[in-house]
């Protein structure tokens, strides 16, 4: 089987968010599962590719039709675990980031990239059995395949999969760019709301042979008014095409026994070095060493309302009477950052705030903190809870999306549990869950058992790869 992956980012080439982790891992997991399959990844050639690490070789040149005349495109490849192509051209601006501040600015880039990827396949004479696109940036490719099937024999047998990593991001404002590249609005009888008929993601959802989301719970949630973003009725009508497949984790990279960022390696069989990581984390961020056994709370997140990081100051203030310390790492919304800094000033012996992106410190927080705070208002999948559990850091998370699918609450099944869930995205609900966690933390034997269960969970990509392979086979029949 020939499978073509399209995305805006993929580790190890480009990473902005969790999408990069997924697209960098899933094709390799599929290749390991199905060694006879021909799996290829296509990415935009963003300017900040490390060309010393990944030297490029040209493979093809072709044109992409545009209202103002054809645009020259060039494709390159580099040595990797499987074939990977990078597409360049005028709409993929040099010195631009993977994502602009607003989708309207990214519209020309990703409309061009989506169509250029199809032209690349045609130029190479490589007809994919399955085209798997991710989020709004590559949804135009799915739409274009559907439009071309009737009059372009090359695409007649290609089936399409569109994975929704975050439904609210539909490519708002990118409609004019699609039309400039010859992609019309969806027909009136598409079932899409009128406002959605020109947007990349809804067009892809209408055209896709299969729609996936990144967790089973999120697949159910987007059928509701609360999480459907105005598309819930349309998606309910397409529910037979919708599947939730949980993301995996690169368990080779995320291994506390071998992680070079962890000062004292440890495993589920021997948790004792983890205590040294707790003390090392305190030293690194400047927290005092308290008398007795005091839990360290961690947070590693973008500072956004979606991630619920605005809830932390009020939640922690409700717990003044309890012994705890907190290490909070994140960047984003200035208002939330200011509230975090005020918490730091209010509790200088308890709270340390580090604003910015620091992947090494993030790993040391997972390896040294006792609990990770994940109060996301919604979370399609989330990887941070899996990373935390791998490192013996117990998640305290809002019961939504992939968090509900990966964290088993202590109250529901104490002997199988891996963390603590709370039902409402409020400071009060988070604080109550933390009180429950503190009660278990007070018993070291129960706490270590909880940590070990989380560390031993299988979050590898193997299960996800099997589910996607089964989906591809069903489509390609």
- Give the single-character DSSP code of 150: T
| pLDDT confidence of residue 1 | 97
**Residue 259 located in a structural domain:** no
pLDDT band at 230 (very low <50, low <70, confident <90, very high): very high
- Domain identity same for 365 and 389: yes
- Domain identity same for 284 and 226: no
- Domain identity same for 321 and 349: yes
Distance between CA atoms of residues 477 and 472, nearest Å: 9
Tell whether the model's pLDDT for residue 305 goes beyond 90: yes
pLDDT band at 384 (very low <50, low <70, confident <90, very high): very high
- Domain identity same for 450 and 469: no
Distance between CA atoms of residues 344 and 330, nearest Å: 14
**Residue 266 located in a structural domain:** no
| pLDDT above 70 coverage of the chain, percent | 100
CB 418 within 8 A of CB 392: no
| pLDDT confidence of residue 288 | 96
- Domain identity same for 360 and 426: yes
- Domain identity same for 196 and 145: yes
| pLDDT confidence of residue 104 | 83
pLDDT band at 17 (very low <50, low <70, confident <90, very high): confident
DSSP letters for 170-212: S-TT-HHHHHHTT-PPPPGGGSS-GGGTTSHHHHHHHH-SEEE
pLDDT band at 297 (very low <50, low <70, confident <90, very high): very high
- Domain identity same for 149 and 45: yes
CATH number of the domain encompassing residue 342? 3.40.50.2000
| pLDDT confidence of residue 95 | 63
| pLDDT confidence of residue 94 | 67
| pLDDT confidence of residue 408 | 98
Task: Report, as an integer, the average pLDDT of 230-246.
Answer: 98
Rounded to 5°, the CA angle 372-377-379 comes to 75
Distance between CA atoms of residues 448 and 388, nearest Å: 14
Q: Which domain holds residue 84?
A: 2-248+461-476
- Domain identity same for 404 and 472: no
CB-based contacts of 252: which residues, under 8 Å, 6+ apart?
none
Task: Report, as an integer, the average pLDDT of 194-210.
Answer: 98
- Domain identity same for 12 and 135: yes
- Domain identity same for 47 and 165: yes
**Residue 257 located in a structural domain:** no
Tell whether the model's pLDDT for residue 461 goes beyond 70: yes
- Residue pLDDT, tens place only, 112-166: 999 999 999 999 999 999 999 999 999 999 999 999 998 999 999 999 999 999 9
Instruction: Quote the mean pLDDT of the chain.
Output: 96
Tell whether the model's pLDDT for residue 477 goes beyond 90: no
- Domain identity same for 470 and 451: no
Tell whether the model's pLDDT for residue 93 goes beyond 80: no
| pLDDT confidence of residue 242 | 98
**Residue 174 located in a structural domain:** yes
pTM for the structure as a whole: 0.92
CB 215 within 8 A of CB 242: no
**Residue 160 located in a structural domain:** yes
- Domain identity same for 316 and 438: yes
**Residue 256 located in a structural domain:** no
* C-alpha torsion sign, points 307, 14, 34, 2: positive
In three-state secondary structure terms, 317 is helix
- Phi and psi dihedrals of 226, rounded to 5? -65, -35
**Residue 40 located in a structural domain:** yes
**Residue 125 located in a structural domain:** yes
| pLDDT above 90 coverage of the chain, percent | 93
| pLDDT confidence of residue 103 | 80
Q: Considering only 97-101, 236-240, 252-256, 446-450, which range has the smallest mean pLDDT? A: 97-101
Distance between CA atoms of residues 50 and 287, nearest Å: 37
CB-based contacts of 445: which residues, under 8 Å, 6+ apart?
none
Tell whether the model's pLDDT for residue 403 goes beyond 90: yes
Structurally, the chain folds into a number of domains equal to 2
């Amino acid at each position: 089987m020939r499978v073509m992956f399209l995305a805006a980012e993929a580790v190890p080439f480009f990473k902005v968010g969790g999408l990069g982790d997924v697209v960098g891992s899933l094709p390799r997991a599929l290749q390991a599962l199905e060694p006879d399959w021909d799996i290829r990844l296509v990415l935009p050639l963003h300017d900040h590719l490390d060309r010393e690490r990944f030297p490029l070789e040209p493979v093809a040149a072709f044109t992409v039709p545009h209202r103002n005349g054809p645009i020259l495109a060039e494709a390159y490849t580099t040595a990797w675990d499987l074939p990977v192509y990078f597409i360049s051209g005028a709409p993929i601006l040099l010195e631009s980031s993977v994502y602009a501040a607003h989708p309207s600015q990214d519209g020309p880039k990703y409309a061009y990239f989506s169509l250029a990827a199809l032209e690349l396949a045609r130029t190479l004479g490589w007809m994919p059995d399955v085209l798997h696109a991710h989020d709004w940036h590559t949804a135009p490719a799915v739409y274009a395949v559907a439009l071309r099937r009737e009059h372009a024999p090359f695409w007649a047998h290609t089936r399409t999969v569109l994975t929704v990593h975050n439904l609210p991001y539909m490519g708002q404002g990118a409609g004019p760019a699609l039309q400039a590249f010859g992609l019309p609005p969806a027909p009136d009888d598409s079932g899409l709301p009128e406002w959605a008929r020109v947007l990349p993601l809804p067009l892809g959802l209408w055209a896709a042979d299969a729609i996936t989301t990144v967790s089973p719970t999120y697949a159910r949630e987007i059928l509701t008014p609360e999480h459907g973003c105005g598309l819930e009725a349309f998606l309910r009508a397409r529910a037979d095409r919708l599947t939730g497949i949980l993301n995996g984790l690169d368990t080779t990279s995320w291994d506390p026994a071998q992680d070079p960022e962890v000062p004292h390696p440890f495993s589920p069989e021997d948790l004792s070095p983890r205590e040294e990581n707790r003390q090392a984390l305190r030293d690194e961020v400047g927290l005092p060493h308290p008398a007795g056994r005091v839990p360290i709370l961690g947070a590693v997140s973008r500072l956004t309302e979606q991630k619920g990081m605005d809830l932390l100051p009020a939640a922690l203030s409700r717990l003044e009477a309890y012994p705890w310390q907190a290490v909070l790492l994140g960047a984003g919304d200035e208002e939330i950052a200011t509230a975090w800094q005020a918490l730091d000033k209010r509790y200088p012996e308890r709270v340390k705030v580090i604003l910015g992106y620091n992947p090494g410190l993030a790993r040391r927080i997972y390896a040294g903190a006792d609990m990770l705070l994940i109060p996301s208002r919604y979370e399609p999948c989330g990887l941070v809870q899996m990373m935390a559990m791998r490192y013996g850091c117990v998640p305290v998370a809002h019961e939504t999306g992939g968090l509900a699918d990966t964290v088993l609450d202590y109250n529901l099944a104490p002997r199988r549990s891996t963390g603590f869930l709370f039902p409402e995205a409020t400071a009060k609900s988070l604080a109550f869950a933390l009180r429950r966690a503190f009660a278990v933390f007070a018993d070291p034997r129960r706490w270590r058992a909880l940590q070990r269960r989380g560390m031993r969970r299988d979050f590898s990509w193997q299960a996800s790869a099997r589910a996607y392979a089964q989906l591809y086979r069903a489509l390609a029949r």
